[in-house]
């Protein structure tokens, strides 16, 4: 049995996802959660004096609230940013911006902050996960070749750890799935608190069939 092979959950959404990210949808599917996608349109500008942690957590909450309007399902909002020193890296504006970010990340450690907020009948629950990622030194030619793959276009920090950029990563301390876009261990706890069944809920069905 695969983790997301429960037929009822595959066909019936149990969660609204306030994000258009295919990566978050795939991560949720991997733990058996079928979603209804409803991207939230919010202002993602940082506020004066806001720390990276406050910024990413606020965006996750605001996305969850905006996406939850008109829904009876619990709604998940999430945001992920790359932090190098005290500078927050979002998605690159163009190739020049992407190469500037990779140059800053090259040969050093940075943090990836991933915030998740779930709102439902029981109110709002949230988490924030910080992961340290260390990149090897990246050559200029590699940056150009990487941009040509089109992979960095919509990625925070201008790279995707689950894609071609995996060859740039020396080591990681923390949650791999959080760097991809959703910390699954912590997200699972939030979803269970809102009554959302995950793949392991199917174990009850297996036990019943075995009796």
The dihedrals phi and psi of 74, each to the nearest 5 degrees, come to -60, 150
> How distant is the alpha carbon of residue 9 from its chain centre?
21
Helix (H), strand (E) at residue 124? strand 123-135
Q: How far apart are CA 63 and CA 104, in angstroms?
A: 29
Catalytic residue among 79, 86, 154, 200: 79
Alpha helices by DSSP H, the chain: 7-11, 22-30, 52-68, 95-105, 140-148, 176-180, 184-193, 202-210
**Could you tell me the CA-to-CA distances from 126 to 75, 87, 120, 165, 167 in Å, in that order?**
12, 23, 12, 29, 32
- Identify the CA nearest to 78 among candidates 92, 89, 91, 62: 62
Q: What token pair was written down for 20?
A: 């258009």
User: 200 an active-site residue?
Assistant: no
Q: Do 31 and 15 form a contact (C-beta atoms < 8 A)?
A: no
Active site residues: 79
């Amino acid at each position: 049995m695969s983790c997301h092979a429960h037929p009822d959950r595959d066909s019936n959404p149990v969660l609204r996802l306030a994000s258009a990210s295919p990566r978050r949808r795939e991560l949720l599917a991997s733990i058996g959660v079928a979603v209804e996608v409803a991207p939230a349109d919010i202002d993602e500008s940082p506020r004066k004096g806001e720390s990276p942690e406050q910024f990413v957590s606020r965006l996750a909450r605001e996305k969850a609230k905006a996406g939850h309007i008109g829904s009876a399902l619990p709604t998940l909002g999430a945001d992920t940013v790359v932090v190098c020193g005290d500078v927050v890296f979002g998605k690159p504006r163009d190739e020049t911006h992407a190469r500037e970010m990779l140059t800053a990340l090259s040969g050093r450690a940075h943090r990836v902050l991933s915030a998740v907020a779930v709102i439902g009948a029981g109110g709002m629950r949230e988490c924030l996960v910080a992961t340290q990622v260390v990149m090897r030194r990246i050559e200029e030619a590699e940056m150009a070749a990487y941009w040509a793959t089109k992979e960095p276009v919509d990625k925070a920090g201008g790279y995707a750890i689950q894609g071609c950029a995996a060859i740039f990563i020396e080591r990681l301390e923390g949650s791999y799935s959080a760097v991809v876009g959703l910390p699954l261990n912590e997200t699972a706890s939030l979803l269970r608190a809102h009554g959302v069944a995950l793949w392991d809920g199917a174990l009850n069905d297996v036990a019943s069939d075995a009796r």
